[in-house]
């Protein structure tokens, strides 16, 4: 585990603060840090897909930058993936602490509906935070869907997945820019 090679790819999804300037500074000081700067805010799904397209590693981790996903889990995820021969280690929240109650309500309703009408079962509390092998990433990239729903696609491609649960925490900084309009 001491000699694992890695790179960090950050996606600037059209931010209007100093995010890009900070990323450029980090990338200039560490060749393991890469960034993609999108011309405007295209939304989480497009940003996630751009990161997957840019990745080249044998394993790819996806996580939000707001630190609601605990990065310290990555070591456990990697060790579990290697020792137990999984294609994906995915995460789920035990609760929705820090989320507005109305959003929690609609999220639960949405996932119940999706699970009833589709052939893909989305685990309650599922997050995009996961570690995948390159084979799974390539299968995801083969799907030429313009209106992506990553949690559904992650399940639909059919790779061996283990779920890890964790306690949700509030965002480290800022406020979510997500809205119902983003789900169209």
Q: How confident is the model at residue 22 (pLDDT cuts 50, 70, 90)?
A: very high
Domain-located, residue 177? no
Q: Tell me: do 36 and 82 sit in the same domain.
A: no
pLDDT at 1 over 70: no
How, if at all, do strands 126-133 and 59-62 pair?
antiparallel
pLDDT the model gives residue 147: 87
pLDDT at 179 over 70: no
Report the percentage of the chain scoring pLDDT > 70. 90
Contact 33, 8 (CB under 8 A): yes
Q: Tell me: do 5 and 74 sit in the same domain.
A: no
Domain-located, residue 86? yes
Q: Tell me: do 28 and 51 sit in the same domain.
A: yes
Q: Tell me: do 160 and 79 sit in the same domain.
A: yes
Q: State how many domains the chain has.
A: 2
pLDDT the model gives residue 121: 85
Tell me what the pLDDT averaged over the chain comes to: 89
Domain-located, residue 46? yes
pLDDT at 9 over 80: yes
Of 9, 40, 56, the residue at which a domain comes to its end is 56
Q: Tell me: do 34 and 83 sit in the same domain.
A: no
Domain-located, residue 183? no
Q: Tell me: do 38 and 70 sit in the same domain.
A: no
Average pLDDT over residues 7-36: 96
Cα–Cα distance measured from residue 94 to residue 168, given in angstroms and rounded to the nearest whole number: 7
pLDDT the model gives residue 184: 44
Domain-located, residue 52? yes
Question: In which domain, by residue range, is 51 found?
Answer: 1-56
Domain-located, residue 104? no
List alpha helices for 13-125, DSSP H.
19-29, 44-54, 73-84, 101-117
Cα–Cα distance measured from residue 60 to residue 53, given in angstroms and rounded to the nearest whole number: 11
Average pLDDT over residues 12-23: 94
Cα–Cα distance measured from residue 78 to residue 166, given in angstroms and rounded to the nearest whole number: 16
pLDDT the model gives residue 183: 46
Report the percentage of the chain scoring pLDDT > 90. 64
Quick one: which of 42, 3, 82 has its CA closest to 11?
42
Contact 168, 68 (CB under 8 A): yes
Cα–Cα distance measured from residue 131 to residue 7, given in angstroms and rounded to the nearest whole number: 14
Q: Tell me: do 7 and 49 sit in the same domain.
A: yes
Domain-located, residue 174? no
User: Mind listing the pLDDT tens digit for each residue in 111-147?
Assistant: 899 889 988 888 888 999 999 999 999 999 999 888 8
Domain-located, residue 75? yes
């Amino acid at each position: 585990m001491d000699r694992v090679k890695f790179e960090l790819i950050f996606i600037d999804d059209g931010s209007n603060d100093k995010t890009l300037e900070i990323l450029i500074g980090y990338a200039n000081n560490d060749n393991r840090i890469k960034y993609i700067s999108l011309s405007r805010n295209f939304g989480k799904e497009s940003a996630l897909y751009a990161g997957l397209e840019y990745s080249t590693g044998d394993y790819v981790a996806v996580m939000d930058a707001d630190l609601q996903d605990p990065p310290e889990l990555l070591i456990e995820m990697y060790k579990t993936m290697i020792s137990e021969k999984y294609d994906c280690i995915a995460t789920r929240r035990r609760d929705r602490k820090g989320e507005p109650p109305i959003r929690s309500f609609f999220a639960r309703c949405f996932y119940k509906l999706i699970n009833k009408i589709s052939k893909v079962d989305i685990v309650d509390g599922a997050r995009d935070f996961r570690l995948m092998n390159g084979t799974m990433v390539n299968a995801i990239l083969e799907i030429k869907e313009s209106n992506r729903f990553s949690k559904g696609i992650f399940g639909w491609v059919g790779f061996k997945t283990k779920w890890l649960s964790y306690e949700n925490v509030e965002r480290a900084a800022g406020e979510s820019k997500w809205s119902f309009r983003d789900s169209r």
